Every structure is written in structure tokens, then in C-alpha cells.
Chains A and B, each alone.
Chain A
């Protein structure tokens, strides 16, 4: 009898440690969110390389367990997940991602038509529109800055800035930024159609001129010096972005460039995605603030897209007829490389099946990456 009660007691103790005994409605909601992410990634192919790790990370982070000092959870110091999460909290994953982005980005479109850079600047209104709205919703300026950066449509930048300005909101900000980046094909086209006329949508742009290798080599050097002298706080992101681009364009460091744009960025993307997903533990994540952040994130994307498109229309007023820009590439200023540029191409082809806008849209697209990193540097400088 004693032995049986011993077994029974042990089983009861064991059961109290299982996920079933510790599950709350919050955990189930978050697991559902994770499953939706995985579904969107696989069935709809929305940014699968981001949504699969994040979605699965959400599942990992929301397996309920009893806190028994076993160092399991991402917020428990010394746990495996916690060690991997350091790259997010200490902010060193994002610069490494930027290194890879630099090594895979061809800035030719931007160099051949540098005025497209201004579209990348205009789209950053999304950041500051969301900043103002966040202040209205009761966030303090540092938190508002971290939320606003969602409008930069740049996951690594959002993580980098929120880890510095509002670490407690980082999970919600990162998930929101990546979710809306994945939803760019849903969010942007209606706004683009709404703000442009049929005539504007079929504007044909001059083909970009061939860019010499010397120009491509000068670009990251001048880019770094100009932007980082202006905003030194953007150095970790911009420094790595331009360094990555230089090792690509120099032509003599092919191995380094291939590592940066291949294995390195893949490894960091996996670690970043899975840990950001796992950081959304229901107890920390399911709050009113998270809901507000999701709402503000959506608005920031709308503002950024509108600002980009409207700026092109405004810019066209001053341009000669043969130099006019198709406003459908305005949306690409929100960075989200290369998805937003692809949207310009798809929407453009709907109205003229021979008008290929992809190359042109890549200009504001990469300018958006620079613009959002500069904006993050400004916010960090003012509020950090």
C-alpha cells in the first residue's frame, strides 16, 4: 500500500510539472498565433524564412512549465534559450544581419539614379507618424521611439532600437515588425492603387545606366562616412551594412562576401527568429500594450507606404517629362527588402504588362534600409 501511494504521489508530482497542468488560456492563444505564422509561411509563402523560425519560436516559448529552477525558459538566466537570446538583448544579431544584407545588396539602381534615395527618406515618415501616435496612446518618448521604428519595416533595426530604448516591449515590437513585413503584399497594394491615377501607374522610367565597379566601391565608403558622421549612433547598423557591401563590391574578398551573405546571415536569421519567437511568452507578451503596439505597427506601415507614394507624386512636379518617376515605386521606400520592391513590380505589371519596375524600385528599397538605420540612430541619439 505504501509503495502504491509512493507511486501515486510521484505521478501527481510529475503531472504538476507537465505542460497540461500549467497551461493557461494565454499560452493557448500564443500557440495559436505561432501556428498561424507557420501556416502563413508555408501555405501563403509570406516571408517563410522569418515566419517559420518566429512561429516555431512562439510554440517553443509558450510550452507551459512549472518554474522549478531547471533553466528552461528564455527569461531564466543561464538557460540555453537565454544564452541565445543575448544576441537580441545585447543587440549584436541585428548588425550581423546587416552585414549579410550589405553583402547581398546591389546598390547599382541607387547609384545610377541617386535621386531615388529621397524616396527612401520620405518613407521614414512612417516611423515618426507612429512615434506621434504612440505618444497619444500614452507611451513615453523612449517607448514611442521604439514602437515607431516598426514603420521602418526593418526587423533587425526594430530589434536593435527596442533593445536599447524599451527592452520590455522588444518581443511585441519585433513580432509586430516581422509580421507586417510579411504582410507587405496585403497592406501595400490597396494604398498604392488608392493614391495613384491610372496615368501615373503606367509611367515608364528610363532604364538605369550601367554602373562602373569604381562607383560601386566608392558607394559604401562615402555612404559610411556621410551617414555615420551625421548620426554616429547608427554606426553598428550602418557600419556593418556598408562593410558588407564593400566586401561584396571590392571583388577581392569573394569568400568573405559569400560567408556574410550565405552561412552567416542564415545562422543569425535562424537564431534571431527562434529567440524572438520564444521571447513572446504569454505571461510577458499578452498585454494591452502588445495589442496597442500591433495596432500602431499597422498604422506605421500605412503611413510609410502613403508617404513614399505621395512623395514621388510631389517630386514628379519638379521633374522633366522624361525623368518622371512611377509613383508605384514609392512604397518600396519602406525598406522591407526586397518584398516591397517586388510589390511595385507586381502592381506595375497589372496596369502595363511590359513595364518592369523592379530595378527602379530596388533604389528606394535599399535607400529605405539606409534611411531607417539613420532614423534609428537619430532616435537613439535623442532618447538613448
Chain B
């Protein structure tokens, strides 16, 4: 029985581990982040040649393996370029980027796509999950792209919801209301928006230089949190007390009022006094004890630490 329980526990634990691993590896956090359609004098690939490129960003806090996913320019052909499996370089670290060259030469390596981009018309680009059906992210790069100017997300990994939130909550946001913008200074494999300061800290420095705002807000949160706990446990306490009264009613067959009285009387001191009386009774104490207590100094000459038998070799004796 015990072994079965252990098996069930271990099985649940391994299932949980497997599940959390799947969660950590979620490809849904991948975003198409920046695209350069016409690359004339810009970033070169590992063969020293300029090609259009597509940047993918991992917006999650865990490493994601992009292997097995598909990149395409046609919604009807989602499996246009399968990203090869077995390449250690396909793991995208948290909040990091990965660049794919749209040069139509997949034989050049994992990051060289089997298609190119249209330099005149618009380009639809999509990233599909490894099942070839689930669309992870897509973008349509408008026609008329200018050479060496990329088209990218205003902030790495943002979506429309995140932009709305920023526009709603941050009045000092200066990025405009567009999610995709052209970048005259392209940022392949690096952040589209360079963070050179902590906006939150800057905001507090500017608007709350002596800290009263922080103190009031934070103390309100602390008080509210502990107040909520207080109220919850006031209710829980009342329920527990009433349940205990009911138990007393049932076991002693008394009314609710009597049960309450009994409960109030049964304080810790009363229990302690009863316990003491029972203990004394069980020990049969006498007024005069027959034994005599004395104090006698004892010499502790011997200790295993100083014993010679543990340190010296015994003299062999003839038997």
C-alpha cells in the first residue's frame, strides 16, 4: 500500500515536472520583432553578404527552443521553412533575439531561409508552431520599404494590448501610438528600444522627490493587506468558536448559552490547574518524604576521551 502511494506521488511529481518543462519551453512567447526588407549596405551574414533579415524575439523569462517551428510568407503554406532541429543555436535565451536571413539559400545553415522578401510589394511574414497549424505571430511589412531602414516593434516583444496599457498608464510615454515603426538605425540581434534608465525610478525621482507619495501608497498597501488578513481571520475565528460551542452542546447536551459559559470558563489556567491536580494525585505525594537528598562531589577521572585503552596498543597476553 505504502509502495503504491509512493509510486503515485512520484508519478504525479514527474508529470508536474514534465508539465512545467512544457510551460517553460513555450514557443508562444516568440515574436517577430524587426524586419529589414532591403539590405544594401547594412548588416552582413556569416558569408559576408547583405540579405534581408527577420528578427525573432523571446518575450518570456525562460529559454525557448525555436527548432521545429516554421517561418513562412504564405498563410496557405505554413511549413515553408522548417527551422531545423538538433542545432543547439536554436535556443533563444530570455529576452534575447535570433536573426534569420531571407536569402533563399537554406543549404547555408539553420538561419538561412528558403525564401526571400519582396523589395517592392508588401511582405506577409508568419511564425508557426511545430504542429504547422498554430500561428504564433505574424506581421505584414507594408510595401515601399526604403533601403537599410528596418521595420520593427516600437519596444521589443510588445503587442497591441501592451501598447494600450502603456498609453493609458504612462502619460510621459513618448513612443507615439504605433506598434510598428521604421528604424533608421537598425538593431539586428539587439533591443529595438535601448533602455538607458529605469523609467520607474526616474518617475519617482521627478514626482516624489521626498518620498511622501511612496510612503502613503506603500503603507496603504501594507495596511490593506494585513487588514484583509485581519478581517478574514476575524470571520474564521468566529466560525471556529461557534463550531466549538456546537461541539460542546452535542457532547454535553447543554444549551448554547451554557456551552458558551463552559467555553469561557475553560481557560488555559483552569486546564493547567486540573492537570497539576491529576499529576499530584497520581504521584501520591507525602508531607514527609522518606528519602534524603544529599550533594556529593564526584570526581570524573575517567572519560572515553582520556581513556588510554583507545590510544595505546594493548600488550599481548598469553592465554
A interface residues with partner B (beta carbon < 8 Å): 110-112, 114-115, 117-118, 120-122, 124-125, 127-129, 131-132, 135-136, 140-142, 144-145, 207, 209-212, 214-215, 218-219, 222-223, 226-227, 230-231, 367, 370-371, 374-375, 378-379, 382-384
Contact = CB atoms under 8 A, between A and B. Distances in A.
A227 B225 contact: yes
B244 A212 contact: yes
B275 to A, nearest CB: 14
Nearest to A142: B201
Contacts of B244: 212
Contacts of A136: 210
Candidate in B208, B214, B237, B244 with the most chain A CB atoms within 10 angstroms: B214
B291 to A, nearest CB: 34
Contact of A226 (B214, B215, B232): B232
B198 interface: yes
Contacts of A121: 219, 222-223, 225-227
Candidate in B225, B243, B268 with the most chain A CB atoms within 10 angstroms: B225
Nearest to A214: B240
Contacts of A223: 229
A145 B241 CA distance: 42
Given A207-B267, A209-B241, A212-B244, A132 B230 contact: no
B225 A128 contact: no
A128 B219 contact: yes
A378 B218 contact: yes
B206 to A, nearest CB: 10
A230 B224 contact: yes
B22 interface: no
A288 to B, nearest CB: 21
Given A140-B201, A142-B198, A382-B200, A131 B229 contact: no
Given A114-B234, A114-B237, A132-B210, A230 B225 contact: yes
A370 B214 contact: no
A375 B228 CA distance: 15
Contacts of A135: 209-211
Interface of B: 198, 200-201, 204-205, 208-212, 214-215, 217-219, 221-234, 236-237, 240-241, 243-244, 267-269
Contact of B205 (A124, A127, A140, A214): A140
Contacts of B204: 141, 382-383
A218 B268 contact: no
B214 A374 contact: no
Contact of B218 (A110, A128, A218): A128
25 contacts: A114-B229, A114-B237, A117-B230, A118-B227, A121-B222, A122-B223, A128-B211, A128-B215, A131-B215, A132-B215, A135-B209, A140-B205, A141-B201, A141-B205, A141-B208, A145-B214, A207-B268, A207-B269, A222-B233, A226-B225, A227-B225, A231-B221, A374-B221, A374-B222, A374-B226
Given A141-B205, A378-B218, A118 B226 contact: yes
A140 B237 CA distance: 44
A377 B44 CA distance: 45
Contacts of B232: 114, 222, 226
Contacts of A112: 237
- Nearest 5 pairs of A and B residues by beta carbon: A132-B211, A128-B215, A114-B233, A141-B204, A121-B226
Nearest to A234: B225
A382 B217 CA distance: 10
A227 B222 CA distance: 9
A212 to B, nearest CB: 5
B214 A128 contact: yes
Contacts of B222: 121, 124, 371, 374-375, 378
B264 to A, nearest CB: 9
Contacts of A124: 219, 222
Given A125-B219, A230-B221, A383 B226 contact: no
B248 to A, nearest CB: 13
Contacts of A127: 218
Contacts of A144: 211
Candidate in A127, A129, A226 with the most chain B CB atoms within 10 angstroms: A226
A382 B225 CA distance: 17
B279 to A, nearest CB: 20
Nearest to A359: B268
A288 B204 CA distance: 24
Contacts of A128: 211, 214-215, 218-219
Contact of A132 (B212, B227, B233, B237): B212
Nearest to B218: A378
A330 B243 CA distance: 32
B296 to A, nearest CB: 32
A70 B121 CA distance: 60
Given A111-B233, A132-B212, A226 B201 contact: no
A113 to B, nearest CB: 9
Nearest to A367: B226
A86 B77 CA distance: 48
Nearest to A125: B219
Given A374-B226, A378-B217, 18 more contacts: A114-B229, A114-B230, A114-B233, A121-B219, A121-B222, A121-B226, A125-B215, A132-B211, A135-B209, A142-B201, A209-B237, A227-B225, A231-B221, A371-B222, A375-B222, A379-B218, A383-B198, A383-B200
